[in-house]
Structure 1
Amino acid sequence: MTATTPARTRLSPDERREQLLELGVRMLADHSLEELSIDLLAEAAGISRGLLYHYFGGKQGFYEAVVQRAADDLYAQTAPPSEGEPLERLQASMEAYVDYVAANRAGYASLVRAAAGGNDALRAIYDTTFDALGTRFFEEDTQSLLIADTPANRALIRGWQAMTEELTLTWCDDPSVLSRDDLLRVIAGSLPAVLAILA
Structure 2
Amino acid sequence: MTSTRTRLTPEQRRGQLLDLGVRLLATRPLDELSIDVLAEEAGISRGLLYHYFGNKHAFHEAVVRHAADDLIAQTAPPASGPPLERLLTSVTAYVDYVIANREGYLSLVRAAAGGNDRLREIYEEARAVLTDRVFREDPEGHILLDTPAARLLVRGWSALTEELVLTWADDPAGVTREELLDLIAGSLPAVAALAR
TM-score of the aligned structures, taking structure 2 as reference length: 0.93
- 1:198 equivalent in alignment to 2:195: yes
Structure 2 equivalent of residue 48 of structure 1: 45
Residues 71 and 129, structure 1, Cα contact 8 Å, conserved in 2: yes
Report the alpha carbon displacement of residue 5 of structure 1 after superposing the two structures with TM: 7.6
**1:170–1:6 CA distance, 2 compared to 1 (3 A):** farther
Among the aligned pairs, what percent are the same residue? 65
Aligned to 1:91: 88
* Gap change, CA 1:190 and 1:122, over 3 Å in 2: same
Report the CA distance shift for 1:154/1:98 in structure 2 as closer, same or farther (over 3 A).
same
Alignment of 1:143-162 (within 5 A): 145=142, 147-162=144-159
Q: Is the 8 A contact 1:134 1:157 kept in 2?
A: yes
Q: Give the distance between the partners of 1:188 and 1:24, measured in 2 at CA.
A: 31
Match in the other structure for 1:184: 181
Q: Of the candidates 19, 23, 28, which is equivalent to residue 31 of structure 1?
A: 28
CA displacement at 1:101 relative to structure 2? 0.4
Q: Hey, what's the Cα distance between the residues in 2 that align with 1:66 and 1:110?
A: 11
Instruction: Look up the match of 1:67.
Output: 64
Cα offset for 1:34?
Answer: 1.1
* 2:149 alignment partner AA: A
What displacement does 1:197 show? 2.4
Deviation (angstroms), 1:48: 0.6
Describe the SS at the equivalent of 2:175. Answer: coil
Which of 155, 160, 165 pairs up with 1:163?
A: 160
The root-mean-square deviation of aligned C-alpha atoms, in Å, is 1.7
Letter matched to residue 21 of structure 1: L
Work out whether 1:76 is the aligned partner of 2:73: yes
TM-score (norm. length: structure 1): 0.92
What is the correspondence of 1:131-146 to structure 2 with a 5 Å cutoff? 131-140=128-137, 145=142
Question: What count of residue pairs does the alignment treat as equivalent?
Answer: 194
Write the distance in 1 (CA, Å) between the matches of 2:2 and 2:168: 46
Tell me if structure 1 keeps the 8 A contact 2:112–2:119.
yes
Return the alpha-carbon distance in structure 2 between the equivalents of residues 68 and 191 of structure 1: 27
- SS of equivalent residue, structure 2 residue 89: helix
Structure 1 residue ranges without an equivalent (≥5) = none
User: Is 1:11 matched up with 2:8?
Assistant: yes
| Cα distance between partner residues in 2 of 1:146 and 1:76 | 21
Distance 1:158 1:71 in 2: 17
| Residues 74, 125 of structure 1: alpha-carbon distance in 2 compared, 3 angstrom cutoff | same
For residues 122-156 of structure 1, give each alpha carbon's deviation from its aligned partner in whole angstroms, at most 9, with x where no partner exists.
00100111111111221248xx8452110010000
Given the alignment, which residue of 97, 110, 116 partners 1:119? 116
Q: Contact conserved, 1:90 with 1:145, CA < 8 A, in 2?
A: no
Q: Is the CA contact (8 Å cut-off) linking 2:143 and 2:192 kept in structure 1?
A: no
